[in-house]
Amino acid sequence: MKNTPESSLDVGHTGHPGELVGVGEDVWMDVIHKMDEVYSDLLQYEVALEEKNAKLEESQQFILSVLTAMSDILVICGRDGTIEDVNPALEVITGRKAADLRGTSVFDLFADADARVLARARLNVSCGDDEVHDCELPLRAHDGASVPVSFNCTPRFNAVGKSLGMVVTGRPVGELRKAYQALTQAHDDLKRTQQQLLHSEKMASLGRLVAGVAHELNNPISFIIGNVHALRRYAERLGQYLAAVHEGVPAEEVEHLRKRLRIDRILVDLDPLIEGTIEGAERTREIVDGLKRFSAVDRNEQQRFDLAEVIERAVRWVCQAERKTFKVAMEFSGPLPVIGSAGQMQQVAMNLVQNAADATRLTDLPTLRIAAEQVSTAQGPRILLRFVDNGPGIAPAHLAHVFDPFFTTKPVGQGTGLGLSISYGIVERHGGSLRAENLPAGGAAFTLELPLAR
């Protein structure tokens, strides 16, 4: 289609070459030359334009693919909040096409009047305010439901910094919130169950304790009561006798009264009776002292105490509430001085003895042997106490778990599985260790190792 100079020469030609009206041939040639240049420029522009167009299409396609892939919603608005464009995620949530949404107000997307007022106040950043982050507002979904969405809003500007409006992005938080709520609920339930378990463990050990203590107190109190009753009878007779003496009754009568009221016998009995009563009262005080020590809550108590005494008391208290056939052989002698909390150590010993009593429930001649051995180590003298029972031992699969909190093989209500885990912590705080093993001959052995006080 390109014009050749020859064909151009024909145009505007009168039919006689060299006879152009009023214009020289060189002028025509010049014009034709210029036209040619313009035409070739035009062609170049067209090629460049086509290239640019292809690039534009490519980048438009790129932007579209990004917008379509976004799961967050995106709204591009003008300065007054008029929607200029949205991404498919918003179309899905609102159930409206982008074409419908364009030209409407972004604030109409919100679920109710309150949310719209709030949105106008919070999301209006086109006047150059700060950006808004994580502003939670409800959006009206296609089914009319309100969907909580966490919005971010940023202003947008043109090349010379003039405000064009804002870009609003949002992420529905409903699912996240639901999952979070379910998690919180499960966590709360778990905490409550744990509290209940701890509580029932406390109640169970308190029950055992009270039974043991009640039994132990029963003995001295009953003989204190017996003695005091006898003392009252004796006091009456002595009063009768003294009254007769003071009234000045004849000597034979006084003598007779003395024999009848067995005054000499009373005088002989008085001392042992009072002695026995004092002993009983002291025994009671000792038990109460032990109880106070046991209930000592001070975790960091640092007192010197005799471990042998503590173990003996633990054995006594457990055995009093246990069946008569369960025997404990204590093969050690005190004193075994240890520094720490006697009450907590008693809790450890009581749990070990109680576990042995429970484990040997089906054993003939159920026995727990507690033996002690002193060893000297680089860190100083230590005491090894072995609690060996003749029960079935610990199942190999359970051996690694007996110190785990809440690990128990006992029926519900009979064990919380906290005994050994609490004991482990207590022994560690005392600078010692607690180990469990099965003996080749059968039965379980727990070794309690503690530093001895120098």
Binding stretches for ligand ATP (CB under 6 A)? 201, 351, 355-356, 359, 389, 391, 393-394, 398, 402, 407-410, 415-421, 444
Nearest residue to Mg ion, by Cβ distance, number only: 419
Scanning 39-47, 115-123, 170-178, 411-419 for contacts with Mg ion by CB under 5 A, the matching segment is: 411-419
Nearer to Mg ion, 241 or 446 (CB): 446
**For residue 324, which phi and psi values (nearest 5 degrees)?**
-65, -30
Nearer to ligand ATP, 86 or 444 (CB): 444
Spatial distance between the Cα atoms of 305 and 300, rounded to a whole number of angstroms: 14
Least Cβ distance, residue 292 to Mg ion (angstroms): 23
- Number of other residues whose CB lies within 10 A of the CB of residue 415: 19
- Number of other residues whose CB lies within 10 A of the CB of residue 307: 25
Scanning 161-169, 319-327, 351-359, 386-394 for contacts with Mg ion by CB under 5 A, the matching segment is: 351-359
Of ligand ATP, Mg ion, none, which one sits near residue 409, judging by CB under 5 to 8 A according to partner kind?
ligand ATP
Q: Could you identify the residue written with the tokens 């039919």?
A: 15
Nearer to ligand ATP, 165 or 419 (CB): 419
Q: In angstroms, what CA-CA distances link 98 with 87, 91, 102, 208, 367?
A: 7, 6, 6, 74, 83
Q: Are strands 83-86 and 73-77 parallel, antiparallel or unpaired?
A: antiparallel
Helices 174-247 and 342-359: angle between axes, nearest 10 degrees: 100
Residue numbers 81-110 binding Mg ion by CB under 5 A: none
DSSP class of residue 443 equals: S
Nearer to Mg ion, 87 or 355 (CB): 355
Nearer to ligand ATP, 204 or 384 (CB): 204
Nearer to ligand ATP, 264 or 428 (CB): 428
Nearer to Mg ion, 227 or 355 (CB): 355
Binding residue for Mg ion, selected from 355, 360, 390, 416, defined by CB under 5 A: 355
Of Mg ion, ligand ATP, none, which one sits near residue 348, judging by CB under 5 to 8 A according to partner kind?
none
Least Cβ distance, residue 194 to ligand ATP (angstroms): 13
If DSSP codes are grouped into helix, strand and coil, which group holds residue 261?
A: coil
Nearer to ligand ATP, 119 or 427 (CB): 427
Binding residue for Mg ion, selected from 138, 366, 419, 432, defined by CB under 5 A: 419
Residue numbers 188-227 binding Mg ion by CB under 5 A: none
Helices 174-247 and 251-260: angle between axes, nearest 10 degrees: 150
Of ligand ATP, Mg ion, none, which one sits near residue 394, judging by CB under 5 to 8 A according to partner kind?
ligand ATP
Of Mg ion, ligand ATP, none, which one sits near residue 418, judging by CB under 5 to 8 A according to partner kind?
ligand ATP
Provide DSSP, 116-176.
Answer: HHHHHHHS--TTS---EEEEEEEEE-TTS-EEEEEEEEEEEE-TTS-EEEEEEEEEE-HHH
Of Mg ion, ligand ATP, none, which one sits near residue 450, judging by CB under 5 to 8 A according to partner kind?
none
Spatial distance between the Cα atoms of 280 and 224, rounded to a whole number of angstroms: 6
Of Mg ion, ligand ATP, none, which one sits near residue 342, judging by CB under 5 to 8 A according to partner kind?
none
Of ligand ATP, Mg ion, none, which one sits near residue 82, judging by CB under 5 to 8 A according to partner kind?
none
Provide DSSP, 340-364.
Answer: E-HHHHHHHHHHHHHHHHHHTTTSS
Least Cβ distance, residue 358 to Mg ion (angstroms): 7
Nearer to ligand ATP, 261 or 394 (CB): 394
Q: In angstroms, what CA-CA distances link 115 with 82, 87, 92, 110, 390?
A: 17, 22, 20, 6, 73
Which of 257, 343, 346 shows the shortest CA–CA distance to 300?
A: 343
Q: Which residues are at the interface with Mg ion (CB under 5 A)?
A: 351, 355, 419
